[in-house]
Structure 1
Amino acid sequence: MDLSIIIVNYCTYDLTKNTLISLLDTIKEIDYEIIVVDNASPDDSLEKLVDDFGNEELIQFIRSDINGGFAYANNIGFSKSCGDYILLLNSDVVVKEETINASLDYIKKHENIGALGCKVSLPDGSLDKACRRSFPTFKVSFYRMTGLSKLFPNSKRFNQYNLSYMDDNGTYPIDCIVGAYMLIPRKIFIECDGLDESYFMYGEDIELCYNIKELGYDVVYYGSHEVIHYKGGSGKNKKLLYAFHKSMAIFYDKHYKKEDNFLINIITHLSIWTLYYLKLIISHL
């Protein structure tokens, strides 16, 4: 089989339904399967999806007994998959015509690609900046958190995090793509031991890209084809806000804590958690 598409559902019936429709409408002449893993949704979204798509032979539905997070659910989906390539796809993404066919064709022709991401746009047509990033080193994060990246959006020095000086429609190697659309050869996903489940939500895509590059493979932004990301479809709440900032701390400690001096470590953690509490206060206001 060419491709296994893994989608995690958590109380996102309407969004997941639109994602599945877009897949069935746009994928052409590929031997593929779709695996929907429900992350113990407390609503009836899984049952409704089964009612809608239960007769589709290409779609398999799996219910997790617990909500172990995004990485956890994707790893369950992978364990049931058989495709030579794995596409991690968010439940709040709508795929455009030819995107998956073109992505799969491109990665097959370039054997050193360990992960491929496409152009990810928001519903208003703007670029979802998370779809192409550099790893959040202290320097890269400092320029972003101090606002220098916004002041100098076309600067290679100050805007390493979101790479806004690069062509949105181009194709080039970068550090990191977003887990909303991530195409990976099966053998490389196995080499990386799947997604790191110490990340509940957010950060697992950066961790996977880091591991892929450590193995010597390229991570590529493929901007000539597009998906639409209805970002935040699974909801925004205190738990997710905490998970996002915790993921930042986990990634830093894993990969940069030993390299940076004690003072940088303190500044980094203070910055992460100060930002968290500020956002928490703003959300109450």
Structure 2
Amino acid sequence: MTQLSIIILNYNASAFLELCVESVLVATQNIKSQIIVADNASTDNSLMRIKQYSNQVEIIEFDKNYGFSKGNNLAVQQATGEYICLLNPDTIVGSNVFDECYAFAKPALSGVEVAQSQVGFIGVQLIDGSGTYLPESKRRVPTKSGVALKKIGVDSKYYDQRFTQDERAKTEVLVGAFMMGKKSTYEKLGGLDERYFMYGEDIDLSFTALKNGFHNWYLGDLKIIHFKGESTIQDKKYRERFYNAMQLFYAKHHPESKWSQWLVNKFAQVMINKTPKSIEQKIDVDRRQIVISEDYDSDRFEVFTLDQLLESNFLTDTVNLEIIWDTKTIERQEIISFMSFHGNRWTYRFLNHSRSTISGSDSSNSRGVVKQF
């Protein structure tokens, strides 16, 4: 029996989808898995990039962009695993993530005293392409004051700050970029509400799980990279979808509170028309670029092994440094640990398995960089 079905819903993620699929293939070597890439009618070369893995990945091509909720629901119908994991295409997972999450969900395997029937969904810690922790990894059920305060820099009522980012604990809301649970639980709860096109559906499903007696778990010691900007551009369309989702959430789960709904609607109208700050990728012509690899040979870049990087003076003497990770030879778990520890002191890029493309992102609020050789 298939233990886990990983569902990657893609829309124009291109090189980042390739990095994601390559990481998933490595991370599922010890688990009976099914990998599904469902494509929401992308207009780029996303599917061409993963064609080489077509014997290991099931590809579903939709005739139009169905959005996050319906696209995932359609893909889940094709899942054969006891468990499913919704995974964004702009993520990179470490080799132990699925094994650890599956073991946690199956107490008989891990010895952890967690009632299996009470586990709703499982999430992990997300860092962005600069190594910065993403606090939306664990959130509270949104209140009208919590959403408003978040927008003026007060996060205590929106993000779950009751425990640290590296702990394992119950939380209320998980992020849809990585959301794992039993397929039967997902179906029992009705899946993702398809009235949400994009944004808010993970909050809705998490809250629905809580209302039905399940617990959502955050495993903070497990980390993945979520570039985020490849699937989330905070323009006016983003703001419309996000705040319309909040309106839908309150109308659905708090129909008795007409006053709260009115306040949320008014706040949404103001925020939708707000002009966001522009965030650009870092550009530094003097930046020193090095490739970290075990066997890469290049006339273009300086190349060092991981041991050489850790033992050298780069980490103390070099400021304008861009580290390019060769994902074919460097364990992603090592990469994620390094980035999480050192944060955004330097910039990072990722070399795909065929070593034909370098991709990366310096901010979770803007699109990343893709360079083709």
Normalised by the size of structure 2, how large is the TM-score?
0.68
SS where residue 279 of structure 1 aligns?
coil
Distance in 2 between residues matched to 1:47 and 1:243, nearest whole Å: 29
| Residue pair 2:90, 2:227 contacting (<8 A) in 1 also | yes
Equivalent residue, structure 2, for 1:123: 129
Aligned to 2:144: 138
CA contact (8 A) 1:137 1:256 kept: no
User: Structure 2: which 5+ residue stretches go unaligned?
Assistant: 108-113, 279-373
Show CA shifts across 1:73-95 (max 9, x none).
Answer: 11111011110000000000100
**Structure 1 position 257, deviation (Å):** 4.1
SS at match of 1:212: helix
Looking at structure 2, the residues matched to 55 and 148 of structure 1 have their Cα atoms a distance apart, in angstroms, of: 48
Moved more, 23-32 or 200-209: 23-32
One-letter identity of the residue aligned with 2:75? G
**Residues 267-278 of structure 1: pairs in structure 2 closer than 5 A:** 267-278=263-274
After TM superposition, give the deviation of residue 121 of structure 1 in Å. Answer: 1.0
Q: Is the 8 A contact 2:69 2:192 kept in 1?
A: yes
- Are 1:26 and 1:97, in contact at CA under 8 Å, matched by a contact in 2? yes
* Paired residue secondary structure (2:220): strand
Deviates more, 1:28-37 or 1:140-149: 140-149
CA distance in 2, matches of 1:183, 1:218: 12
The answer to whether the 8 A contact 1:4-1:85 is kept is yes
Higher mean displacement: 14-23 or 162-171: 162-171
Identity %, equivalent residues: 29
Structure 1 unmatched runs, 5+: 150-158
- SS of 2:275's equivalent in the other structure is helix
Higher relative contact order by CA 8 Å / sep ≥ 6: 1 or 2?
1
Is residue 2:173 matched to residue 1:167?
no
CA RMSD of aligned residues (A): 1.7
Larger Rg: 2
Q: Secondary structure at the match of 2:146?
A: helix
1:73 maps to amino acid: G
Task: Give the superposition deviation at 1:146.
Answer: 4.4
Residue number in structure 2 paired with 1:29: 30
* CA displacement 1:146-174 (0-9 Å, x = unmatched): 4444xxxxxxxxx1311235211101111
Separation in 2, partners of 1:84, 1:248: 31
1: distance between equivalents of 2:137 and 2:47?
A: 28
In the alignment, which residue of structure 2 is the partner of 1:233?
Answer: 230
Q: Which residue of 1 aligns with 2:79?
A: 81
User: Residues 17 and 246 from structure 1, CA distance in 2 versus in 1: closer, same or farther, beyond 3 angstroms?
Assistant: same
Q: Do the aligned residues in 2 keep the contact of 1:13 with 1:49 (CA within 8 Å)?
A: no
Give the AA of the match of 1:77: A
Indicate the residue corresponding to 1:154 in structure 2: none
Runs of 4+ in structure 1 over 4 Å off:
none
Greater Cα offset, 37-46 or 188-197: 37-46
The one-letter code of the counterpart of 2:53 is: F
For residues 76 and 32 of structure 1, what CA distance do their matches in structure 2 show?
18
| Aligned-residue offset at 1:193 | 1.4
Which residues of 2 match residues 215-226 of structure 1 at below 5 A? 215-226=212-223
1:202-247 superposed Cα distances (whole Å, 9 cap, x missing partner): 1111111111111101011111111010012135244333212211
- The amino acid across from 1:79 in the alignment is Q
Residue 107 and residue 250 in structure 1: after superposition, are their counterparts in 2 closer, same or farther (change >3 A)?
same
SS of the equivalent of 1:20 reads: helix
Q: Secondary structure of the residue that 2:149 maps to in structure 1?
A: helix
Tell me: CA distance 1:43–1:141, structure 2 relative to 1, closer, same or farther (3 Å). Answer: closer
In the TM superposition, what is the alpha-carbon distance from 1:261 to its structure 2 partner? 4.8
Q: What is aligned with 1:15? A: 16
Question: Structure 1 residues 165, 173: CA separation in 2 closer, same or farther (over 3 Å shift)?
Answer: closer
Q: For residue 89 of structure 1, what is the amino acid of its counterpart?
A: L
Number of residue equivalences: 268
- Higher mean Cα deviation, 225-234 or 30-39? 225-234
Q: 2:261 aligns with which of 239, 258, 265?
A: 265
Query: Is residue 192 of structure 2 the alignment partner of residue 195 of structure 1?
Result: yes
Q: For residue 234 of structure 1, give the secondary structure of its aligned residue in structure 2.
A: coil
User: Is 2:206 the partner of 1:206?
Assistant: no
- What is residue 173 of structure 2 aligned with on the other side? 176
CA distance in 1, matches of 2:238, 2:249: 16
